[in-house]
Structure 1
Amino acid sequence: MNSDFTNRHIIVTGGAGALGSAVVQLLLNEGAKCSIPCYNTTEEETFRLRNHANIFTKANIDLTNEEQTQTFYDDAIAQQGPLWASIHIAGGFGMGNIEDTPMSDFNKQLQLNTVTCYNSCRAAVQRIRESNYTGGRIVNIAARPAVEPRQGKGMTAYTVSKAGVAALTQSLAAEVIEDDITVNAIAPSIIDTPQNRNNMTNANYEDWPKPNQLAQQIAYLVSPENEVTRGGVIPVYGKS
């Protein structure tokens, strides 16, 4: 990655997680300023990059709450300057066939994945338009079942919630063309994280895409060099 992000402010929801940390580290290495909303104080305190000079974190931010999302974006901009890009990694996974998935669990998946993405996209578009940049960048995280729904067997609620992210990405990309804001998503298969390895002990981890590999894809999509890719839901499956 050779893009120059010097002093460009980028919000990364879910930035304290495995994928998020890889993305934030890469962006910091290229000179960016990153702001990370944390769900609770434990997440904030254990975030290994929280003391970096170009990092702003704030705990107890529930991105399913519109007001809290809006407030975080305002606070981040007050600390780090105008917003260039917003990357929306925050979300959650849930297994379960439809017979064993009550409406409460279905709604939880919609809240964790679709609603957090919607609230973050809305806040980002508003503030990118107010910035002193020409245009801006948004990247969302869909999933392989969002673009290949038959891959979502046994996790229908999760699949529907990530399909919502994919549709949001494509619709919003068309909506903000005149603002020179590019909106894209990546659609990973199972990511090679410690948690996924622990949950799938018999899997072939070598076939899974690595956080650092996905970070490279995301960083390109939010870079100034990306002038033409918009509305993409980009498969990033590794060898799986």
Structure 2
Amino acid sequence: MDGKVVVITGASGALGKVVAEQALARGARVAGIDYAPAQLPATPTRLELGSVDLTDAAAAKTAIDAVAAHFGKIDALINIAGGFAYETVADGDPKTWARMYALNVTTALNASRAAIASLTASNAGRIINVGAMGALQAGAGMGAYAASKAGVHRMTEALAAEHKGRITVNAVLPSIIDTAANRASMPTADFGKWVAPKELADVILFLASDGASAVTGALLPVSGRV
């Protein structure tokens, strides 16, 4: 990872923060893009772009172009931005389906499209998306979320096929990530079975590294001990 420029969407979230910290620790230069306001000033190794609505293609391109201008290149894009909703198909709001698609598919689509030219120019371009184990077989209350993450899986495969030999495109499929929000929503669960953010970050950064140059189009389960 030394010297690589890594872009992370959803960088201020629980997983995004850990991925950014681990990438920096491995010598990467990191750009974080998030809907939340930026907290840190730009440095030679770190850039934060806040208040960016990645569901807007023009806003996504402006942010990605700013990263390329700041660092001079982009080697990897890690699409973590997204959202979750739990509601049944029969009793839920149809608008939730559109919202889940926008948050999980459209954000990754817009960021990926904006970064393709820079990633192609890299000799080791990488895109890593965050899918979900729950999208392989949806449970009750998971319809809208699972459908949107299934869209992420299919987009990953399509991008990998379209850019084979130029950019590797893969997705990690976590089960339940051990975050404060998930613990609060499931207080009686066995947290020890969940995937720690550091564990997931290690897999993501492997896929962003030179060691994963032969891996593309993969949907990699990271299910912890569930």
Query: Which bracket does the TM-score occupy, shorter chain normalised?
Result: over 0.9
- Structure 2 letter corresponding to 1:134: N
Match of 2:133 among 138, 144, 152: 144
1:209 aligns with 2:195: yes
Is the 2:124–2:210 contact (alpha carbons within 8 Å) kept by the matching residues of 1? no
- How many residues are aligned here? 226
1:219 aligns with 2:200: no
- Which residue of structure 1 lines up, in the alignment, with residue 61 of structure 2? 70
The secondary structure found in structure 2 opposite 1:99 is: coil
* C-alpha displacement of 1:40: 2.8
Once residues 74 and 52 of structure 1 are traced to their aligned partners in structure 2, the CA distance between those partners, rounded to angstroms, is 17
* C-alpha displacement of 1:55: 1.1
* C-alpha displacement of 1:208: 0.1
- Which residue of structure 2 lines up, in the alignment, with residue 96 of structure 1? 87
Is the 2:195–2:225 contact (alpha carbons within 8 Å) kept by the matching residues of 1? yes
* C-alpha displacement of 1:17: 1.0
1:10 aligns with 2:10: no
* C-alpha displacement of 1:16: 1.2
1:32 aligns with 2:28: yes
Once residues 226 and 157 of structure 1 are traced to their aligned partners in structure 2, the CA distance between those partners, rounded to angstroms, is 32
Match of 1:113 among 89, 104, 115: 104
* C-alpha displacement of 1:15: 1.3
Q: Deviations over 1:12-63 (max 9, x none)?
A: 001111111111111101111111112132xx23xxx767651101111000
Once residues 40 and 19 of structure 1 are traced to their aligned partners in structure 2, the CA distance between those partners, rounded to angstroms, is 15
1:187 aligns with 2:178: no
- Structure 1 letter corresponding to 2:146: T
* C-alpha displacement of 1:154: 1.1
- Which residue of structure 1 lines up, in the alignment, with residue 158 of structure 2? 171
- Which residue of structure 2 lines up, in the alignment, with residue 232 of structure 1? 218
* Structure 1 stretches lacking a partner, 5+ long: none
**Could you tell me the percent identity over the aligned residues?**
36
Structure 1 residues 52 and 78: CA distance shift in structure 2, 3 A: closer
Is the 2:42–2:48 contact (alpha carbons within 8 Å) kept by the matching residues of 1? no
Supply the RMSD in Å over aligned alpha carbons: 1.4
The secondary structure found in structure 1 opposite 2:212 is: coil
Q: Deviations over 1:85-134 (max 9, x none)?
A: 000000000000011222211100000001111111111212212x3x22
The secondary structure found in structure 1 opposite 2:177 is: coil
1:59 aligns with 2:50: yes
